Each structure stands twice: as C-alpha cells, then as structure tokens.
Amino acid sequence: MNKLLILIPALFAFACQTKNSDDLKEAAKKYEDVHSFADPSKAIVKHLDLDIKVDFDTKLISGKASWTIENPAKGDEIIFDSRNLKISKVTLGEEEKETTFTLGDVTEFLGQALTVKIEAATSKVNIYYSNSADAAAVQWLNPQQTAGKKYPFMFTQSQAILARTWIPCQDSPGIRFTYNAKVSVPKELLALMSAENPQEKNADGVYTFKQPNAIPSYLMALAVGDMSFKAVDNRTGVYAEPATLVKAAYELADMGKMTTAAEKIYGPYKWGRYDVLVLPPSFPFGGMENPMLTFATPTIIAGDRSLVSLIAHELAHSWSGNLVTNANWNDFWLNEGFTTYFERRIVEDVYGKDEAKMQELLGYQGLQDLVKEMGATNADTKLKANYEGRDPDEGVSDIAYEKGYSFIRTIEDAVGREKFDAFLRGYFDSHAFNSVTTEEFLAYLEKNLLKGDKALQDKININSWVYQPGLPTNSPAVGSDRFKSLDSLISQWQKSGDISVLNKKLATNEALYLISHLPADVTIKQMADLDRTFKFTASGNSEIQAAWYTLSVRMKYKPAYSNIETFLTEVGRRKFLMPIYKEMVKTSEGKVWAKKIYAKARPNYHSVAYNSIDEVLK
Ligand code: BES
Ligand code: ZN
C-alpha cells in the first residue's frame, strides 16, 4: 500500500516528464538551424533588455544585454551566438550573481558559441560585452561619407547572421523575442531602432526603445546619425539626414497608400507605425525590412517615384517575413518569394497592372539569365536550399525572389486569385509571430487549399518547384503590352539605323528593358545614339545607371567611364556594384581598372558588399 502511494506520483511525474521532453524535441526539431550554435532544446530567450553605448571614437558598441529566458528542461546551460564579441562578465537574475561562461572555437561565418552556466530556476542572464571595431554588421561613416558632411553616422545590417557581431543573441530566425533598449549616443545625434522610435533629438543623447512584438534576431537594427523626421501621414513617415529629407519624403509620398493597399489584401498591419529611414549611399542593400523602420538606400530617390516598388517590397515583409518568418536560412525563399509576390500585388493596386506586369517580366528575365549562368542542374537553383557549411548570404539571389515568386504565382493561377487571397490571409493570421519551414508551409497548403485535389496538385507540381533545380516547365506566362510596343520600335530602329523612331519619353522600366534587349553586337555608334537620345550616362536613376554602366563596360563605351568611376565610389549597394565589377574583370585591362577604382572605393563599402567584391577581384 505504502509502496503504491509512492509509486503513483512517481509514475505521474515520469509521464509528465516524457511528454515534456517530446514537446521539447518537437520544438528543437522545428528550430534546427545549421547557422546558429543555440540549442533551443536546452534554454531559449524570450525578451531582451539592451543597455548600450555607441562610441564613434573607438567604433565600439558596449554595454549589457539582459536576456529573459525559459529553461523548461531545467538544464544547466544556455548557448548564445557571438562573433568577435568581448564578453567581460555574465551574471544571473536581478541580483546579478556572477556565473561562468565559455567561448567555443571560432568557426568561419558563424563565430563562437557562448555557453553560459545557469541554474534550473534562472530566468535572467546578463551579458556584459563589447563588440569589435570591425564588427561585420556595423558600418561607421566619417562625416565625409554622409550627405551633410558634418557628423559621423553608423548603422547595422543584421540579416542574415550578423546580429551576433553586435549583440550576443540566439541568432536564428526560428527564435523570437521582444525587446527594450536604452542607447547612449553623442548628444548631437539621433538614434533609431527596429522599434517604437523618437521623432526628434533630445538633450542628453540617451534614447529608449520598445519592440512589443516578438521578432527574430536578424531584425535587430540600430542607426545613429544626424537624422530628422518628416511625416507622410498619421502612421507613416520618413527619416533621413536633413540634406536628404525633403527629396526622400517627396519620393516616398505613396507610403500611406501602399500600407492601405497591403492591408486590403492580407489584413491589418500589426506593427503600429511604418517608417522608412533613408540611409547614406553606402547601405549595402536596396532595403531591409527592420520592423517599424525599414532601412533603405538613397539610390531609390530617382526624383520621379519610379523606384519605390522597393518600399512596397519592404512593407510587404511586415507580413511575409516579419510576421511569418522563415524558420532557418534554407527556407529563405519563404521570406523573399512571398514578399516579391506581395510587392507586385501592392504595386498593381497603387500603380496599376501595366506597371506590375513590366516588373514581373523584368524579374522573370533576370531569373532566366541567372539559371542559365548557374546551370539548370545546379542544386543552388532549388527553392529549398542547403547552405550548411556556407554563409547564408550566398543564398541571396533571384532564385529565392523570382523563382519563389513564379511558384507562388503558379499556385495563384491554378486556384484563382480570390481563393488564393483568402488562403494567404488565413496563413498569415494562423502563423502570425511564428517561424515556418518549407515543409510546414507545404503541409498547410495541402490541408487548406489543395485538399487532395489530384488535378490541382499535378497542375502546380510542387516537387519540381521546390525540390528540383532549374525552371519548371509550367512557369506562369508573363507578358507586357508596353514592352511589346517597345520591341517593335527597337526592331524598326535596328532595321532603319534611325534612332529617331525610338524618340519617345521612356518610363524607367522601358529604359531598363531597352538596355537589356539591345543586340549582343550593339555598336559604339548605336550606344552613342542611345546616349544622346536618352542621356543614360548622365542618368540620375540608379537602376538605369547600373544597367547602362554594366553594358558600357562590356562594350567598352568610353564616354561612360568617368561616371562609372563616380558611381562605384559613391554607391555601396551590392546589387549594383557586383555586375559592374564582374563585367570589368572579364578583360585584363578591365581588371586593372577595377582594382584601381576599388582601392579608392572599398573604404566606402559595408562589409556585406566588400566581402562579395573581394571575391570577384581576387
Ligand atoms: N531582406 C532583404 C535584404 C537581405 C536579404 C539582406 C538577405 C540580407 C540577407 C530585403 O527585403 C530585400 O530583399 N531587399 C532587396 C530589395 C528588393 C526590392 C528586391 C534589395 O536590397 O535589393
Ligand atoms: Zn526582401
């Protein structure tokens, strides 16, 4: 009798324990991430209180990261990611009892595991740290590298796995946390984060931030500089250096309309405000969807609002990416494919079908070119990628964006837009603030949309899209009437040799189409005719510049050379730099030229850009 009484609670406890550890295994499986040392089956972060100082003299970010954690397995350690961080002390709890920690071996790209000894009941881990002056996420600009030329500037770029170079964190997109931050900066500068933001400077240079929604670490972001704010409407606005602000706000005047259009399609915007920070030109990407505050390149300021679909893209990430996140970087297409689709839906709503169709066609042609270049059997052309042992940054290509887009469109075409929209809305709602693997998405798709319909499944052919290389044979039809009329003008010009047949005002997309559809043996005379007619060399439109300059290098069109040098020195956007440098190194004299420019330009680039270009020029 006695024995039995003892046994029952013991058995009960055992049953609970096994269930619990099954749950944990389930969670761990979901979060399995080859690009993070964190082991969520042990202990996992839930909230961050960050207290840091930004020092422009030493180029250091230092302070304390206090992590609220959960430790359901009651284990005795928690693992963080770190890369080039100096950890001075780690304490536990509000009482800050000092504990021990180890830093593991240094691994390329990944950095080091930071393993902290904890107790079963530990709910807070305080890490005192500083980063290193060459932290890969951070770019420090001297006043000369800003528009105002008066104050220094700094910004971070955390995606994909660079957050760990400025904050010790569990740096996996499958792990989410809320955060509060206190950031001390020089008094004359403003600090902004991926959070609720100040709209003006204060007297003491100490700013506090709050991000009440759980986000993954790659969305941690900070910028410090001489920045001002201009409202677009009551929930959207623009930050930029004062010298850029008026132009930036003019260019982005449609942000409010875009947000409303997006909500009409996939439901309420869940993040409060939506603002854009237009950075100095060294920003290595077009845009980065930091929650509540997209970071953007100033190269979208063309003066005629023709490049603002990039903002539609970053805004779209507020659903696809920030609300429903790829669980790891091998599922990156879930973020970018859906976002490219949603971007074009927003563009269609705000700017019309013609515009969306032109962008779609240019995108698809870019994809075809890329697949040709990579080879149709190349495993990196699969949507479900495998970047184990490599930097996930290598996966940033049109495969995720445009093959992902084409796959989503294939589903839309098969079921019809109305059904597909309802499905997607349900998907975003049911997975809000969660991370998702490719397989989870496909299972949800089957359960809620395809529902065993064999004809539909065959029509879409998921396997060939997701798990096979190259481009499936059922790629959706793309076409643009605007481009068709341009085609006929181009061929008239080719036949007659008379450039005046082409003499009409070209929209940005038409110019891009023209530049990418010139015959392979276009002559210098034809290029000069085009240049005289359309002023491509002197264009202030960065997309046109990048396309024209790449062609100019290929065809050795000398009148563009000095503008090319200026462009490569001033602009740090990798997507523009790479094709130009790649074209240059194809000839030996081009390579000498490239190296000469690069020697001058490299100090202006962010590590994301110069690491890629170093490879091209080595
Ligand atoms: N999230 C990406 C940028 C990114 C991807 C940074 C992977 C680091 C790793 C952002 O949303 C993006 O896609 N930007 C594009 C713009 C777009 C319109 C295609 C860019 O920067 O060119
Ligand atoms: Zn994106």
User: Would 496 be classed as within a structural domain?
Assistant: yes
Q: What Rg, from alpha-carbon coordinates, does the chain have?
A: 26
User: Would 610 be classed as within a structural domain?
Assistant: yes
The pLDDT, as a whole number, for residue 12 is 39
Q: Looking at the structure, tell me whether residues 68 and 203 fall in a common domain.
A: yes
Q: Looking at the structure, tell me whether residues 188 and 51 fall in a common domain.
A: yes
Q: Whose CA is nearest to atom 5 of ligand 1?
A: 396
Answering whether pTM is above 0.85, one says yes
- Asked if pLDDT for residue 7 goes beyond 60, the answer is no
Task: Please list the active-site residues.
Answer: 314, 401
Q: How confident is the model at residue 13 (pLDDT cuts 50, 70, 90)?
A: very low
User: Would 162 be classed as within a structural domain?
Assistant: yes
Other C-beta atoms closer than 10 Å to the C-beta of 400 total 23
User: Would 311 be classed as within a structural domain?
Assistant: no
- Asked if pLDDT for residue 146 goes beyond 60, the answer is yes
The alpha carbon of 347 and the centre of ligand 2 are apart by a number of angstroms equal to 15
Q: Looking at the structure, tell me whether residues 23 and 40 fall in a common domain.
A: no
Q: Which ligand is nearest to the CA of 335?
A: 2
Q: Which of 404, 437, 467 is the last residue of a domain?
A: 467
- Give residue-wise pLDDT tens across range 150-180: 999 999 999 999 999 999 999 999 999 999 9
Packed helices 417-430 and 438-445: angle between N→C axes, nearest 10 degrees: 130
Cα 24 from Cα 74, distance rounded (Å): 12
User: Would 269 be classed as within a structural domain?
Assistant: no
Q: Closest Cα partner for 322 from 307, 339, 309? A: 339
User: Would 479 be classed as within a structural domain?
Assistant: no
- Asked if pLDDT for residue 595 goes beyond 70, the answer is yes
Q: Looking at the structure, tell me whether residues 400 and 422 fall in a common domain.
A: yes
Q: How confident is the model at residue 456 (pLDDT cuts 50, 70, 90)?
A: very high
The pLDDT, as a whole number, for residue 30 is 56
The alpha carbon of 276 and the centre of ligand 2 are apart by a number of angstroms equal to 15
Tokens representing 595 are 């190296």
The pLDDT, as a whole number, for residue 23 is 55
- The whole domain housing 340 covers 319-467
Mean pLDDT of 83-94: 98
Q: Looking at the structure, tell me whether residues 504 and 537 fall in a common domain.
A: yes
Other C-beta atoms closer than 10 Å to the C-beta of 358 total 24
Please tell me what DSSP assigns to residue 559.
G
Tokens representing 229 are 């704010």
Cβ-defined contacts of 332-335 (< 8 Å, 24+): 332/160, 332/385, 332/392, 332/395, 332/396, 332/400, 333/383, 333/384, 333/385, 333/399, 333/400, 333/403, 333/404, 333/407, 333/438, 334/404, 334/436, 334/438, 334/441, 335/400
User: Would 284 be classed as within a structural domain?
Assistant: no
Q: Which of 467, 496, 522 is the last residue of a domain?
A: 467
- Asked if pLDDT for residue 27 goes beyond 90, the answer is no
- Asked if pLDDT for residue 8 goes beyond 50, the answer is no
Mean pLDDT of 188-192: 99
- Give residue-wise pLDDT tens across range 336-358: 999 999 999 999 999 999 999 99
The pLDDT, as a whole number, for residue 133 is 95
Q: Looking at the structure, tell me whether residues 507 and 403 fall in a common domain.
A: no
- Asked if pLDDT for residue 421 goes beyond 90, the answer is yes
CB 601 within 8 A of CB 569: yes
Peptide bond into 560 cis (omega under 30): no
CB 32 within 8 A of CB 328: yes
Q: Looking at the structure, tell me whether residues 68 and 171 fall in a common domain.
A: yes
The pLDDT, as a whole number, for residue 416 is 98
CATH number at residue 40: 2.60.40.1730
Q: Looking at the structure, tell me whether residues 109 and 133 fall in a common domain.
A: yes
Task: Name the residue of 155, 171, 290, 313 to mutate for ligand 1: max ligand atoms within 8 A of Cβ.
Answer: 313
The pLDDT, as a whole number, for residue 504 is 86
Q: Closest Cα partner for 224 from 237, 207, 212, 211? A: 207
Tokens representing 534 are 């359309």
Task: Name the residue of 217, 279, 288 to mutate for ligand 1: max ligand atoms within 8 A of Cβ.
Answer: 288
Q: Looking at the structure, tell me whether residues 326 and 430 fall in a common domain.
A: yes
Please tell me what DSSP assigns to residue 449.
I
Mean pLDDT of 92-111: 98
Q: Looking at the structure, tell me whether residues 437 and 494 fall in a common domain.
A: no
CATH number at residue 556: 1.25.40.320
Mean per-residue pLDDT of the chain:
95
What residues pair up with 81 in beta bridges, in sequence order?
113, 169
The alpha carbon of 338 and the centre of ligand 2 are apart by a number of angstroms equal to 9
- Give residue-wise pLDDT tens across range 471-488: 999 999 999 999 999 999
User: Would 201 be classed as within a structural domain?
Assistant: yes
User: What values do phi and psi take at 319, rounded to 5?
Assistant: -105, -65
**313 Cβ inside 6 Å of ligand 1:** yes
For residue 19, the SS3 value is helix
Atom of ligand 1 minimally distant from the CA of 314: 11
Q: Whose CA is nearest to atom 1 of ligand 1?
A: 288
- Give residue-wise pLDDT tens across range 193-211: 999 999 999 999 999 999 9
The alpha carbon of 383 and the centre of ligand 1 are apart by a number of angstroms equal to 16
For residue 297, the SS3 value is coil
- Give residue-wise pLDDT tens across range 354-413: 999 999 999 999 999 999 999 999 999 999 999 999 999 999 999 999 999 999 999 999
Q: Which of 183, 206, 225 is the last residue of a domain?
A: 225
CB 177 within 8 A of CB 215: yes
Cβ-defined contacts of 21-26 (< 8 Å, 24+): 21/73, 24/72, 24/73
Cα 418 from Cα 617, distance rounded (Å): 49
Q: Which ligand is nearest to the CA of 173?
A: 1
Mean pLDDT of 213-235: 98
Q: Whose CA is nearest to atom 15 of ligand 1?
A: 286
CB 436 within 8 A of CB 321: no
The alpha carbon of 471 and the centre of ligand 2 are apart by a number of angstroms equal to 21
Cα 242 from Cα 155, distance rounded (Å): 17
Q: Looking at the structure, tell me whether residues 195 and 63 fall in a common domain.
A: yes
Q: Looking at the structure, tell me whether residues 54 and 188 fall in a common domain.
A: yes
Beta-carbon contacts of 70 under 8 Å, excluding residues fewer than 6 positions away, are 43, 44, 46, 123
Mean pLDDT of 116-135: 98
**300 Cβ inside 6 Å of ligand 1:** no
- Asked if pLDDT for residue 26 goes beyond 60, the answer is no
- Give residue-wise pLDDT tens across range 522-564: 999 999 999 999 999 999 999 999 999 999 999 999 999 999 9
What is the number of structural domains in the chain?
Answer: 4
